[in-house]
Amino acid sequence: MSKVRVLVGTRKGAFVLTGDGKRKDWQVDGPHFAGWEIYHVKGSPADPNRIFASQTSGWFGQIIQRSDDGGKTWQPPGSRPEDLVGPEGMLKGESNKFVYEGHVGTHKWYDGTQHPWEFKRIWHLEPSLTDPETVYAGAEDAAIFKTTDGGKTWHELSGLRNAKGHLWQPGAGGMAVHTIILHPKNPKRIFIAISAAGAFRSDDGGETWRPINRGLKSQFELPDPDAEVGHCVHRIAMHPSRPDVLFMQKHWDVLRTNDAGDMWNEVSGNLPSDFGFPIDVHAHEPETIYVVPIKSDSEHYPPDGKLRVYRSRTGGNEWEPLTKGLPQKDCYVNVLRDAMAIDSLQPCGVYFGTTGGQVYLSADSGDSWNPIVRDLPAVLSVEVQTLP
Amino acid sequence: MIRVVLPFHLRTLARVDGEVQVEVQSPVTVHSVIDALEARYPVLRGTIRDHVTLKRRPFVRFFACKEDLSLEPPETPLPDAIVSGAEPFLIVGAMAGG
């Protein structure tokens, strides 16, 4: 029977939630890396027992951890099993060297001056769809790194900064590559999104990039309606059967493109608020999408204290609230951009984590919800693996 | 041998308990102690000081014999009590919260 493994990154560690095929009985393992911020945990589609985690700290910087046994044990990539044997055995891994390459230059700062690029952390890890040794990592300050040796060494795909990097300016949440989407058939095509800079596409495997932000409107932040960069994209999502169709949750507005980002159109429709962070696509219905409306960028909690996922079965514009099992009063949590995931069972399961430490599951594609856990630290990211 | 006390999170990262000891050639300085520490525990590279510039991370502090050496040049010789092993060299995470 199939099962699911939910990988949860929180402010104080990582948790692995393992559920049976019915998604009723759950085992909770963790915290792993207790006390560290775990921005993202994601498994390799090519080898589901290989899982990567971004472990970070304001004191001690960035660590990349890897598990090769489905999250039971972890170590920084680079240590061999024999390195760990005996009283003198120790980790040899040095998986945290993220160094910007070439002439790094500067980006725009809050006061309009130019500011040097400074590596802070890895927000998002995107393992290759076909090679368990290859992973892309999205960094703050905005950059994309790649490993081809299972996470031991990383090098920057520095061509990204040529996409008007000097004009990018951090928002209140920083300036990070938080979304990386790999094309399911064309390994040369990669989409990324950067908060307060926009969405970008590479058609040569990450060597060169161009902004794909036509149609985005950010009238208060960017008075120039033709601005190529500077849009605060919160998340983009794709269904693998239609890789030219992308959905976007922007700072304000929900949008879609039918041509791989060449032009976007707003599909916010009847949402109670078009501000939010995550957006995701149903596993089996590429026109069915999910968002979690948040009242505003000043308040960062759901409208009216009601936690509602909104589902559109028409690819946007027409939305229905999904409330069964979710708190409908006095709820003031947020759902962050990397904290929603969808499994591929029938019917597909939808998962999201909150800043209040709950991880909710709908095992019926959003019709009803139950918490898997209620009291974790604030959830930063949720991923799910559907396992045989 | 130089005795080094690591902060909790670096002990768990390096999978060590209590103090660690490293052999350091003279002159014994902050720089040479961390060189030896990173050679012995490669997983600590980048967590105490920057990989490239070798500058101390902002919220990591160094203490020896109750003196805060965080702002001293990293080539400053450490006190005899550290060199002899009578006192440990302390690597501390700066206090947070309030």
Render pLDDT for A11-51 as a digit per residue (tens, 0 to 9): 999 999 999 989 999 999 999 999 999 999 999 999 999 99
The yes-or-no verdict on residue B52 having pLDDT over 70 is: yes
Which of A35, A59, A76 minimises the CB distance to B94?
A: A59
Tell me which CATH homologous superfamily contains domain A35-349+360-372: YVTN repeat-like/Quinoprotein amine dehydrogenase (2.130.10.10)
Q: Does B11 touch chain A (CB under 8 A)?
A: no
**Beta carbons of B51 and A92 less than 8 Å apart:** no
Please name the amino acid found at residue A361: L
Residue B98 lies in a domain: no
**Is B45 in CB contact (< 8 Å) with chain A?**
yes
- Facing A97 at nearest CB: one of B9, B12, B51: B51
Q: What is the pLDDT of residue A86?
A: 65
Interface confidence, given as ipTM, is 0.94
| Residue A87 scores a pLDDT above 70 | no
The count of other CB atoms within 10 Å of the CB of residue A284 is: 15
Percent of chain B at pLDDT above 90?
94
pLDDT confidence tier of residue A198, bands split at 50, 70 and 90: very high
Cis peptide upstream of residue A274 (ω within 30 degrees of 0): no
pLDDT band at A84 (very low <50, low <70, confident <90, very high): low
DSSP, res A252: B
Q: What count of CB pairs under 8 Å joins A to B?
A: 61
Residue B98: predicted pLDDT: 61
Whether B54 has its CB under 8 Å from any CB of chain A: the answer is no
Question: Does B53 map to a domain?
Answer: yes
Answer whether A94 sits within 8 Å of B46, measured CB to CB.
yes
Question: How far is residue A70's CA from residue B68's CA, in Å, rounded to a whole number?
Answer: 43
Closest by CA to A272, choosing from A291, A293, A251, is: A293
In chain B, the number of structural domains is: 1
Mean pLDDT of chain A: 95
- Map out the domains of chain A as residue ranges: 35-349+360-372
Identify whether B60 is part of a domain.
yes
- Cβ contacts of A78 on chain B, cutoff 8 Å: 42
CATH label of the domain that carries residue B34: 3.10.20.30
Sheet containing A246-250: give its strands across: A233-238, A246-250, A254-257, A265-266
Residue of B13, B48, B53, B61 best to disrupt the A interface, most CBs of A under 10 A: B13
Confidence of residue B97 (pLDDT cuts 50, 70, 90): low
Over residues A241-277, the pLDDT tens digits come to 999 999 999 999 999 999 999 999 999 999 999 999 9
What's the distance, CA A274 to chain centroid?
19
| Interchain CB distance below 8 Å, A97 and B9 | no
Instruction: Quote the domain boundaries for residue B29.
Output: 2-93
**Chain segment A122-157, per-residue pLDDT in tens:** 999 999 999 999 999 999 999 999 999 999 999 999
Count CB atoms within 10 A of the CB of residue A312. Answer: 23
